[in-house]
């Protein structure tokens, strides 16, 4: 056979193999999911409490010129959608406050950590060195919060995290750390109860990524599920090929899979998990609760349950409308929590407080309702009132399902 002949055969083979792929395309089955629960019982979204303290306050705030608060967290980094949803809540709060309070104009300074613990320390130092900053909303992720907490503690700069859920964060003796939501010691057991009782799953695989958030949450869920855990796996940040992990899960044939991590990895994971027709129910936490997950999982997100210590914002009419107008999207995960956290700081500034010490003291003694819950912290910086909700992906939308804790 001549050289050319051989090359030609290779070319034909190449075309043939592409054809094969096409042939197999025929039937296009959506990955089916067997879930015991249905969404008929979707609980109503809570209304805004009538006595909720809002950023605008009573419009009589007085403060020195040039005071500012900061948002520190991911803006353009990995899993940025989670950060931006919070940031828009913060922006809205500051805007509403400044409009209503002519006597107190607060500047919002935004710092981008790219969500990475490595970058967070540098950015945080920058913020600490800016004396005009009296309070911080952030940091959104547990890993970066862990890396930055000590610096804030030493600088005496108060932080209210609208979304970091690693329980260990409040156990470091940082008197500047306040958490504006329930932690994973609440979310984990609530998710486990939901999986075991509401979904009726008797066998569960728990998968986590290598972030401190994923590891911590998976531990809580495993402990709460006890013997129902039939397999555990860990994946890596930025991993996109999960065949080995999926193989392990398939071999265990669990009724449900819990994935503790963020949406970047969760989307391809979900797709590959259901690609071979595995019948199971996927449950994932707040780090996955974003439209990015729904869209990138290419159909596999349908029916997935998402737990979250965030309260559905549908019922907060005024907030919902104002947010949608400002951000161009509906409020997402932790938008309302970010708004509430900002409100607490703004109230402090309206009092005319002008040092970090005074603001810290004010937050420590704070005791008032916000949109999402009542804000009163214990000495560790944890809230006492911590609702956890579960959502479900339906027709490509994340809709609320029920309150689970």
Partner 1 sequence: MIGNLPTVLAQGGVDWISFDIGRLVDQFWYNTVNGLAYGSIYSLVAVGYTLVYGVLKLINFAHSEVFIVGAFGAYFTFQFLGYESGGIAQAPLVETIVNLILALAVAMICSGLVALTLERVAYRPLRRKKAPRLVFLITAVGASFAIQQAIMLWRNPNPELAIQLIAPRPLFEVFGVSVTNIQLTVFLAALVLLLIADSFINRTRLGRGIRAVAQDPDTATLMGVNKERVIMLTFIIGGLLAGAAALFYIMQIPQGVVYNGGFLLGIKAFTAAVLGGIGNLRGALLGGFLLGVFENYGQSLLGGQWRDVVAFVVLIVILMFRPTGILGESLGKARV
* Contacts with partner 1, residue ranges (CB under 8 A): 3, 6-7, 10-11, 13-29, 76-78, 80-81, 114, 207, 210, 233-236, 238-241, 243-245, 247-248, 251, 264, 267-268, 271, 275-277, 292, 294-299, 396
Q: Measuring CA to CA, which residue among 313, 314, 353, 352 is closest to residue 336? A: 313
**Phi and psi (nearest 5°) for 278?**
-65, 135
Task: Tell me how far the alpha carbon of residue 184 is from its chain's centroid.
Answer: 12
Q: Shortest gap between Cβ of 314 and partner 1 (angstroms)?
A: 23
Q: Which is nearer to partner 1, 113 or 183 (CB)?
A: 113
Question: Are the CB atoms for 187 and 286 separated by under 8 Å?
Answer: yes
Question: Are the CB atoms for 339 and 375 separated by under 8 Å?
Answer: no
Q: Which is nearer to partner 1, 306 or 383 (CB)?
A: 306
Q: Measuring CA to CA, which residue among 287, 325, 317, 262 is closest to residue 91? A: 325
Residue 293 DSSP symbol: H
Q: Which is nearer to partner 1, 289 or 356 (CB)?
A: 289
Q: Classify residue 11 as left (phi > 0), alpha (psi -120 to 50) or beta.
A: alpha
Q: Shortest gap between Cβ of 259 and partner 1 (angstroms)?
A: 12
Q: Shortest gap between Cβ of 247 and partner 1 (angstroms)?
A: 5
Q: Which is nearer to partner 1, 276 or 376 (CB)?
A: 276
Q: Which is nearer to partner 1, 212 or 386 (CB)?
A: 212
Q: Which is nearer to partner 1, 23 or 65 (CB)?
A: 23
Q: Shortest gap between Cβ of 237 and partner 1 (angstroms)?
A: 10
Burial (CB < 10 A; 0-12, 13-18, 19+), residue 243, is exposed
Q: How far apart are CA 172 and CA 165, in angstroms?
A: 14
Strands 256-260 and 158-161: unpaired
Q: How far apart are CA 321 and CA 191, in angstroms?
A: 30
Q: Shortest gap between Cβ of 73 and partner 1 (angstroms)?
A: 14
Q: Which is nearer to partner 1, 132 or 238 (CB)?
A: 238
Q: Shortest gap between Cβ of 369 and partner 1 (angstroms)?
A: 35
Q: Shortest gap between Cβ of 250 and partner 1 (angstroms)?
A: 8
């Amino acid at each position: 056979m001549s050289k050319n002949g051989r090359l030609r055969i290779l070319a034909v083979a190449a075309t043939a193999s592409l054809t094969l792929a096409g042939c197999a395309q025929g039937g296009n089955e959506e990955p089916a999911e067997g879930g015991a629960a249905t969404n008929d019982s979707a609980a109503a979204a809570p209304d805004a409490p009538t006595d909720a303290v809002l950023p605008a306050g009573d419009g009589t705030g007085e403060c020195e010129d040039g005071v500012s608060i900061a948002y520190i967290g991911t803006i353009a980094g990995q899993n940025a959608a989670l950060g931006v949803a919070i940031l828009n809540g913060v922006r809205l709060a500051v805007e509403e406050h400044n409009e209503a309070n002519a006597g107190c104009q607060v500047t919002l300074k935004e710092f981008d950590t790219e969500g990475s613990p490595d970058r967070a320390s540098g950015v945080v130092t920058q913020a600490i060195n800016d004396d005009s900053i009296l309070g911080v909303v952030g940091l959104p992720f547990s890993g970066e919060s862990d890396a930055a907490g000590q610096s804030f503690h030493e600088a005496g700069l108060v932080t209210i995290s609208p979304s970091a859920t690693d329980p260990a964060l409040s156990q470091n003796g940082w008197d500047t750390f306040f958490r504006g939501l329930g932690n994973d010691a609440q979310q984990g057991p609530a998710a486990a109860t939901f999986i075991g009782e509401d979904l009726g799953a008797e066998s569960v695989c728990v998968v986590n990524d290598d972030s401190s958030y994923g590891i911590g949450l998976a531990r809580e869920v495993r402990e709460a599920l006890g013997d129902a855990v039939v397999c555990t796996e860990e994946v890596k940040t930025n991993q996109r090929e999960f065949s080995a992990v999926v193989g392990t899960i398939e071999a265990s044939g669990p009724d449900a899979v819990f994935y503790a991590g963020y949406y970047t990895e969760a989307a391809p994971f979900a797709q590959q998990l259901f690609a071979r027709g595995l019948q199971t129910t996927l449950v994932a936490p707040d780090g996955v609760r974003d439209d990015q997950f729904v869209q990138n999982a290419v159909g596999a997100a349908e029916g997935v349950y998402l737990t979250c210590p965030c309260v559905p914002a549908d019922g907060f009419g005024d907030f919902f409308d104002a947010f949608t107008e400002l951000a161009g999207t509906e409020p997402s995960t932790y938008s309302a929590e970010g708004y509430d956290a900002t409100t607490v700081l703004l109230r402090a500034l309206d009092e005319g407080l002008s040092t970090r010490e005074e603001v810290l003291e004010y937050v420590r003694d704070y005791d008032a309702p916000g949109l999402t819950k009542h804000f009163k912290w214990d000495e560790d910086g944890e809230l006492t009132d911590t609702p956890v909700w579960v959502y479900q992906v339906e027709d490509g939308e994340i809709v609320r399902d029920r309150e689970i804790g």
